[in-house]
Amino acid sequence: MEPIIRVENLTFEYRKVSPEGPATSFRAVDGVTFEVPSGEFVAVLGMNGSGKSTLAKHLNGLLLPTEGDVWIEGMNTREDDHIWNIRSTVGMVFQNPDNQIVSSVVEDDVAFGPENLGVDPMEIRRRVDEALQAVGMYEQRLKAPHMLSGGQKQRIAIAGAIAMRPKCIVFDEPTAMLDPKGRHQVMDIIHRLHEAGITVILITHFMEEAMQADRLIVMKDGRITDDMPPRDFFADRERIQRARLEMPAIIALREELIRQGLPVDASVQTEEELIEAICQLQ
């Protein structure tokens, strides 16, 4: 089966034009190749400036490759004819909800995408209601977005993406600006979308969030340095250090317990597993 996302040898250069001297360029993504099968939940980690967001913007044609190709369900993002299909296949949710909300009423904002696709009004109504219910914001549908909290606004932005009926949603640090409760709610929604069969690409700086994915891609200097299940990655201290990331708290605690002499198995990774392992020592 054709993977939903196929990226082949993708290179992207930002060109910088300066008043004095010739234009210079900066290679933000450097020869990246990977595929994502439909329905997968992929987390992307990496330092600021490692190329994660630039890569993400290629997945629905917001940026086009300097070299290489990106195919979404077999459609090349370079081909103008496909661009609307591609954008309704892959939705995007960014870090700052304030930059993604365009209307002064919640439900109008969610309807914005499908309206622009020329979807039938009855169908739009249905989709908007469904999308708002999916993120738990149906009750707030007639409110003004600016009166909502950051977490609620982010859920509206996600509803806007869901209303497009995408097969894949790319989340670019969706929880970075949220309080703890807002973060939990957004992660819950991401899990539910994944369970409903939507392919999820989650860019994040939170190790705990990355742990929840099926697969982890780590980027450094525009390249993919690791591509494996998060369990394997976080079991390898050297890999974590090389990528300049850190251990999720549970793994840091496991390591500390081992260091202090408790015989905890080094394969323990989740909170439940660690609680179980500790209780067995009683």
Partner 1 sequence: MSITVENLTYTYSKGLPNETRALENVSFQLEPGEFAAVIGHTGSGKSTLMQQLNGLLRPDSGKITVGEVCITDPSTKMTEVRRKVGLVFQYPEYQLFEETVAKDVAFGPKQVGMTGEKLDRVVEESIRLTGLDYEEVKERSPFELSGGQKRRVAIAGVLAMKPEILILDEPTAGLDPSAHRDVLELIRRIHRKERMTILLVSHNMGDVAELADRVLVMNRGKLVMNGTPAEVFSRGEPLWEMGLGLPPATEFMERLKDRMPGIDTAQLSIEDAAKEICRYLKGRKK
- Interface residues with partner 1 (CB under 8 A) are 46-50, 95, 147, 149-151, 173, 176-183, 205, 207, 244-246, 249-250, 252-253, 256-257, 259-262, 271, 274-275, 278-279, 281-282
Largest Cα separation within the chain, whole Å, is: 71
160 neighbors 113 (Cβ within 8 angstroms): yes
Token pair belonging to 86? 């591609």
How far apart, in whole angstroms, are the C-alpha atoms of residue 29 and residue 55?
7
Instruction: Identify which of residues 227 and 255 has a Cβ nearer to partner 1 in the complex.
Output: 255
What is the torsion angle, in degrees rounded to the nearest 10, for the CA atoms of residue 217, residue 220, residue 222 and residue 223?
Answer: -60
Instruction: Identify which of residues 1 and 99 has a Cβ nearer to partner 1 in the complex.
Output: 99
3-state class (DSSP) for residue 7? strand
Closest among 148, 151, 208 to 185, alpha carbons compared: 151
3-state class (DSSP) for residue 237? helix
Q: What does DSSP assign to residue 173? A: S
How far apart, in whole angstroms, are the C-alpha atoms of residue 243 and residue 226?
9
Least distance from C-beta 234 to partner 1, angstroms? 13
Instruction: Identify which of residues 232 and 246 has a Cβ nearer to partner 1 in the complex.
Output: 246
Instruction: Identify which of residues 79 and 179 has a Cβ nearer to partner 1 in the complex.
Output: 179
Least distance from C-beta 199 to partner 1, angstroms? 24
Least distance from C-beta 207 to partner 1, angstroms? 7
Instruction: Identify which of residues 123 and 188 has a Cβ nearer to partner 1 in the complex.
Output: 188
- With 0-12 / 13-18 / 19 or more C-beta atoms within 10 angstroms meaning exposed / middle / buried, residue 13 is middle
Least distance from C-beta 90 to partner 1, angstroms? 23
Least distance from C-beta 247 to partner 1, angstroms? 9
Least distance from C-beta 137 to partner 1, angstroms? 15
Instruction: Identify which of residues 103 and 270 has a Cβ nearer to partner 1 in the complex.
Output: 270
- Locate all alpha helices (DSSP H) within 196-270, ordered by sequence: 207-211, 230-234, 237-242, 249-259
Closest among 80, 76, 132, 82 to 107, alpha carbons compared: 132
